[in-house]
Structure 1
Amino acid sequence: MSEITKQSTGATFRNVSYLWDETKAAELAGDEVALFIYRSNLLGADLRLTNYGGGNTSVKITDKDPLTGLETEVMWIKGSGGDIGTLKKSGCAALYLDRLHSLENVYRGIEFEDEMVELFNHCIFDLASKAPSIDTPLHGFLPFKHIDHLHPDAAIAIAAAKDGKQITEDLFQGEIGWVGWQRPGFDLGLQLRDCLEEAASRGIRLKGIMLGSHGLFTWGDTSYESYINTLEVIEKCADYLEAHYGKKGPVFGGTNTAIPVLEAELRRKQAAKVAPILRGFCSSYQKMIGHFTDDVRVLEFINSNDLSKLAPLGTSCPDHFLRTKISPLVLELSPEEDLSDVKAIQARLQPGFESYRQMYSDYYNSCKHDNSPAMRDPNPVVILYPGVGMFTFSKDKTTARLASEYYINAVNVMKGAEAISEYTSLPRQEAFNIEYWLLEEAKLQRMPKPKALSGRVALITGSAGGIGKAIAKRFAEEGACVVINDINLERLEGAKAEFQAKFGRDAAASVLLDVTSAESIVMALEGAALAFGGVDIIVNNAGISISKSIAEHSIEEWDRLYDILVKGQFLVSKEGINIMRKQGFGGDIVNIVSKNAVVAGPNNPGYGSAKAAQAHLTRLMAAELGADKIRVNTVNPDAVISDSNIWAGGWAEGRAKAYGITVEELPAYYAKRTLLNEIILPDDIANACFAFVGGLLNKSTGNALNVDGGVAMGFYR
């Protein structure tokens, strides 16, 4: 591991990232709030210091009261639901510090914690600021100007150790205080203050406080001092753990030799095969999106002898627990298991899921309070497959990915705690009180209503351009995860960058796909399973056009049309159906056909007959797949010229020749021959596809929707 040294302080860091830029900080000099946000972003950029959305930071400044014109003390702190790594001023809460302190006069005790949160609003200084978080009093009752509250794995490993308090005392020679586990709130803020004052009464000046099973508080007189203090404390924790690995014996009790070791490619193939089955089980309440990782830290844990001892304990840090649930489900499958018999594997796995759901129901019923929210989805979030990797499932890809990251943090904590002592998790009742906290429930109730395609995964062939890209964009806008694909790598990379810029890193995956190759299609669908857990929507859009008379048509051109349009639709649908059947909750196949499937025109025997074959294959699949709740429908476009690949390769010239006009006259020609006198755009086709899959036509299959501006010859009889 490389060393990072800050020359002016002599501090050396091997386990954390020193990111402070003195030039950048100098530009912010004099603006304490800007420096606090800068420090926050640096801390949040290193996942060894805290998770996405985890931890909190603050600064106390003097500002002019807009009502009195007098100087008053104001605390700026990360607002509720924010992330310090991406924090901006607009994401902070600003409060009158004296008003916050005065709330102690009306605090009625720990039984009335939740009512204090509403009172924080009476302390707001900046009316444009975010709602204050539950951590607000934890910062407010500490007298330091700059404060960092983080969830670093190295510190939590000590905080979650059986004798963590004594280890903290010995390691830091009393300079880091200790406050035992308690749910965040007003009382915990008072305990932090008491801890500080008790140490001061003994002549000890604390430079931080460890929260049992939770995290770390550190501080400084300046933003930079707080930053350095935070890094130094975490570095010392990490060094301590590193020095103890192996002293008590092998990590996690050593490797379980009964688990076969698979190469990375074989692990991922096995994961891709089982992911849709797992997604089906996890979606028994609502559609879930999956995430897979075979990170080395995960493999070390799931392939160990101590997996059966540690996994049921669950996590310790409440931030970890909220995203990973009470404990993971461990699959009783060999890494080399033959997964080809889907029904047999489903039968093998079903008892494990039923047992997990019963465990969760028992946990809820034994811990619930009179005013607890109703029990939520009892399915696991984290699923461990020894020898293969870890799956996480949640309502969207971002939440599933974050659950994976948080469980890796939990694995790090267990590893460290076991190395120095013995790992302890949150007691079940305390875990329940966090998971079903009324304040957390209120957050969930304020979440935006899911979009029409939330929780669904769509693969649209040929989606790096033209009609396919328009469909993928529309689906992503409606909440779907999309698998962008193309045969052209350069075009694919450009589309991927475009989608990530517009929709974020988790909305789209990309795969190379040649629809004429069964091997390429299998690999693409494996990519969808690894990225999102499976697929719900297949849109067969990839195509080419060749306009020639039957006498001029070559055999090669004829075969190419049928390979891409008909064989491609068959191969992609076949593999998509396999995955949908594994999931067991149905799906949609939409085939982009053409008006030419029913209209006989000149110079069009190859393209038109291939489109007719696509249309009838749609009807045949619909007739066959109804029992699987897989709907199969057709969209018939016509003359979609804008940004469409089919106009390349001489098609436009061929059609213009057939109609006795110039290429430039084609758009107007096509529009004039329609009943509505409209030019058809890729977005029009995307809207039609969404009409089939968006939820309003869930009882329609075998149908065709014409999007051609109205071509009477194309009407279905």
Structure 2
Amino acid sequence: MTASTPSELIARSRRLGADPRNTNYAGGNTSAKGTGIDPVTGEPVELLWVKGSGGDLGTLTEAGLAVLRLDRVRALVDVYPGVQREDEMVAAFDYCLHGKGGAAPSIDTAMHALVDAAHVDHMHPDSGIAIATAADGEELTSRIFAGKVVWVPWRRPGFQLGLDIAEIKRQNPQAIGCILGGHGITAWGETSEEAEANSLWIIHTAEAYIGEHGRSDPFGGVRAGYEALPQAERRAKAAALAPTIRGLASTDKPMVGHFTDSDDVLEFLAGEKAADLAALGTSCPDHFLRTKVKPMLLDLPAGASVDASIARLTELHEQYRADYRAYYDAHADASSPAMRGADPLIVLIPGVGMFSYGANKQTARVAGEFYVNAIHVMRGAEALSTYTPISDAEKLRIEYWALEDAKLQRMPKPKSHQGRIALVTGAASGIGKAIATRLAAEGACVVVADLDLEKAQSAAAELGNADVAIGVAANVADADAVQAALDATLLAFGGIDLVVNNAGLSLSKPLLETTEQDWDLQHDVMAKGSFFVAKAAARALIAQGMGGDIVYISSKNSVFAGPNNIAYSATKADQAHQVRLLAVELGEHGVRVNGINPDGVVRGSGIFASGWGANRAATYGVKEEDLGQFYANRTILKREVVPENVADAVYVLTGPELSRTTGLHVPVDSGVAAAFLR
């Protein structure tokens, strides 16, 4: 081997991981053996480069590889204490590492080290798992691959599985890989190209066989009344159900959601076998670790009303929790970690689609992707045979594996707003953009709503990918447009926790020059618009039953009588009193309503840039470019207020420190004595 071994391995891994037919996100691992230099002796030493714990093949970098000395890993065979204590071997891998840095070795390290091949791939392709979970998987393996691929009965990943596969390769020199019962595939080769080709041959051969010999209706016939609703209808129903389902799925701890209505999901839910197959759960360890032992399936037809669906989902959730407790109690032992939670991570709605849940958006999205993988697996297994996943006892051994629990304990402490879903209006620029930026930085999922869709999407893209933020169009003066923005939020992230009424505009005119149109425009956007947003959000917040926050960006003008802005100041006073009224009304639902009163925020402000700044400068007799300093000079602190100062106040008001505060207006004005609250 040469120094190019790691780069060859990374390139192969990325190619394999880029195609979801080959393996799921963060699933599987690849390795290469070669020669390096011992930094102490300067002598050559055999090394193993292997994808480390928690990484993803499709995005693998050198930092994601664990590098181990092969002689030390192989020496562990002589001290291996047996399958009852094989978990101890994972800690031993740390003493086999070569050099500094790199990823932590995964549980599959033994498989890669002990198999006598220069390159090894272990993956979770849908077609391979379909064979692995078929009732007659061993016979199918023999028939499909004619001895080139060998069957390995189910065994939990670990040191013993590595020994087993190494022995199988020794006994079957003609083999290029194996099917791991209930789990996935492993392939090998003497060159990187050969290992990759062998992996793809197994995957494609299995795909072709299922396609040529499988039944055309693996999920049974279409169940009348359970067919997919038209897209607009199913999206509307999904948005209507989303808050309730998220609340149920967050009974033990808050979850972020993801909605999927792909053809694969809808076809599965329409099948006569859907309920029976769903009850069997998933099989591949990577699948059910992220989807839980089984999903929760609504047992009503697609045309069932929203109210009937909600009532039934509530009943099913109680039964799901009871069933999960029974599953845990039946299979846990004295060494099992405490039960972590009994809520479903996958909720299936016939005719509508699938909701998946996780601690953050990426985890929720990936859970959904894994269940789609599971649907593919069930389709393949049922096409050829009968889908037969590993037992519930084995599933619990994986789900509550001490090594998996230790991985959870090593997770970094969540940020203050992680798992919270925020909708910020007028967020493409100025104060709104600063608020969206701060909330995203603190871990929230953010919906950037703005009158200009293109600007909203551009601002959202600056915050991160669609797991972090999305941009939507929202004319807050239009109730239907507001509801559409709220629905987009529910479908993107599964719910809503935090709403910031920030959208606004201003026209600086004295009373006698203020027209009816001027008055209506400002009241429509700020007073009526805030009402529309709060009403739509409150409906979802109440349905969730998880509390929440509504924040109004009002103004010091709501209490300060400034010159020449009768319409603007009046509508800001309206907003300020909405805060008090809604704090009283929504408090019983755990929803806090607070306001922020900034002074003139000139820098980065869309309002000031659109003419308000020039008007205010003329009113006060200063140059427009000096307006920010003018505002600062009239304050107690003599400091200019910028958008980030307002964002800081939103962060504090909606964070855990002020959890008992509602109905409050926070001045962010550097101290304007005339605007002191009384």
TM class by shorter-chain length? Answer: over 0.9
- Segment of structure 1 superposing worse, 371-380 or 657-666: 657-666
Aligned-partner residue type, residue 361 of structure 1: R
Shift of 1:336: 2.2
CA distance in 1, matches of 2:288, 2:536: 37
Residue of structure 2 in register with 1:304 after alignment: 271
- On the 8 A contact 2:127/2:380 being kept in 1, the answer is yes
Partner SS state of residue 495, structure 1: helix
1:313 to 269, 275, 280: 280
Aligned residue among 640, 656, 659 for 1:679: 640
- Paired with 2:101 and 2:418, the residues of 1 have a C-alpha distance of 31
8 Å contact from structure 1 (residues 260, 336) kept in 2? no
SS, match of residue 147 in structure 1: strand
| Equivalent pair of 2:227/2:350 in contact (CA under 8 Å) | no
Q: CA deviation at 1:540?
A: 0.1
Show the counterpart of 2:631: 670
User: Map of 1:120-159 to 2, 5 A cutoff?
Assistant: 120-159=93-132
The aligned residue for residue 335 of structure 1 is: 302
Question: Does the 8 Å CA contact 2:119/2:190 hold for their aligned counterparts?
Answer: yes
**Aligned pairs, how many?**
678
The aligned amino acid for 2:440 is A
Which among 235, 238, 248 is matched to residue 207 of structure 2?
238
Are the equivalent residues in 2 in contact too, given 1:331–1:386 (CA < 8 A)?
Answer: yes
| Residue number among 488, 498, 505 corresponding to 2:462 in the alignment | 498
Residue 178 of structure 1 contacts residue 195 of structure 1 at CA under 8 Å; is this kept in 2?
Answer: no
- Residue identity matched to 2:66: A
Q: Out of 661, 674, 688, which is 2:649 matched to?
A: 688
Equivalents in 1 of 2:553, 2:408: separation in Å? 39
Give the secondary structure class of the aligned counterpart of 2:586.
helix
Instruction: Give yes or no for the alignment of 1:209 onto 2:178.
Output: yes
Query: Could you list the runs of 5+ residues in structure 2 that have no partner in the other structure?
Result: none
- Show CA shifts across 1:55-112 (max 9, x none): 0000001111112222111000011111111111111100010110000111010000
1:93–1:126 Cα contact (<8 Å) kept? no
- C-alpha separation in 1, matches of 2:80 and 2:338: 28
What residue in structure 1 maps to residue 544 of structure 2?
Answer: 583
| 1:498-540 deviation digits (Å, cap 9, x = unpaired) | 122xxx4301122111101111111111111111111111100
1:631-665 CA-to-partner distances (Å, cap 9, x unmatched) read 11110001111111110332111111111111122
Name the stretch that deviates more: 228-237 or 566-575.
228-237
Provide the rounded CA distance (Å) in 2 between the counterparts of 1:619 and 1:375: 42
Partner of 1:349: 313
Equivalent residue of 2:120, what SS?
strand
CA distance in 2, matches of 1:347, 1:49: 40
Residue in 1 that maps onto 2:18: 45
Q: Which residue of 2 aligns with 1:281?
A: 248
Give the drift of 1:345.
5.2
Alignment of 1:600 with 2:564, yes or no, is no
CA distance in 2, matches of 1:382, 1:261: 18
Residue in structure 1 matched with residue 390 of structure 2 by the alignment: 426
Structure 1 gaps, min length 5: 1-27
| Contact 1:515-1:568 within 8 A present in 2 as well | yes
Alignment of 1:245-284 (within 5 A): 245-246=214-215, 250-284=217-251
Alpha-carbon distance in 2 for matches of 1:227, 1:349: 45
Deviation at 1:335, TM superposition (A): 2.1
Q: Give the superposition deviation at 1:493.
A: 2.5
- Amino acid of the structure 2 residue aligned with 1:430: E
One-letter code aligned to 2:446: V
1:698 to partner: Cα distance: 1.3
Asked whether the 8 Å contact 1:270–1:335 carries over to 2, the reply is no
Structure-2 separation of matches of 1:416 and 1:235 = 13
Q: In the alignment, which residue of structure 2 is the partner of 1:557?
A: 518
Q: Deviations over 1:235-279 (max 9, x none)?
A: 111000111233xx6221121113254101111110010011001
Q: Give the aligned partner of residue 649 of structure 1.
A: 610
Instruction: Please state whether the residue corresponding to 1:650 is helix, strand or coil.
Output: helix
1:496 CA drift (Å): 2.3
Give deviations 1:568-597, integer Å, cap 9, x for gaps. 000000000000011012111000000000
The answer to whether 1:658 aligns with 2:619 is yes
Aligned mates of 1:578, 1:171 — CA distance in 2:
55
Alignment deviations for residues 356-386 of structure 1 (CA, whole Å, 9 cap, x no partner): 0010001111111111111011000111111
2:33 to 56, 60, 83: 60
1:346 CA displacement: 4.3
Q: Secondary structure at the match of 1:63?
A: strand
1:112 counterpart (85, 89, 95)? 85
Q: TM-score, normalised by structure 2?
A: 0.98
Distance change (3 Å), C-alpha of 1:30 and 1:701: closer
Q: Could you tell me which amino acid in structure 1 is paired with residue 187 of structure 2?
A: T
What is the Cα deviation at residue 29 of structure 1? 8.8
CA contact (8 A) 1:29 1:35 kept: no
Could you tell me how far apart the structure 1 residues matched to 2:476 and 2:258 are?
Answer: 25
Letter in 2 for 1:482: V
* TM-score, structure 1 as length reference: 0.93
User: Structure 1: which amino acid aligns with 2:550?
Assistant: I
**Could you tell me which residue of structure 2 aligns to residue 103 of structure 1?**
76
Percent of pairs with identical residues: 47
* Mapped partners of 1:615, 1:308: distance in 2: 51
Which residue pairs with 1:615 in the alignment?
Answer: 576
Are 1:532 and 2:501 counterparts?
Answer: no
Whether contact under 8 Å (1:154, 1:238) holds in the other structure is yes
Does 1:543 pair with 2:466? Answer: no
Could you tell me how far apart the structure 1 residues matched to 2:587 and 2:145 are? Answer: 67
Q: 1:136-215 alignment to 2 at 5 Å?
A: 136-200=109-173, 205-215=174-184
Amino acid at match of 2:640: I
Point out 4+ residue stretches in structure 1 off by more than 6 angstroms: none
Shift of 1:490: 2.4
Is 1:35 aligned to 2:35, yes or no?
no
| Other structure's SS at 1:251 match | coil
Deviation of 1:338 after TM superposition, in Å, equals 2.5
Q: Is the 8 A contact 2:298 2:312 kept in 1?
A: no
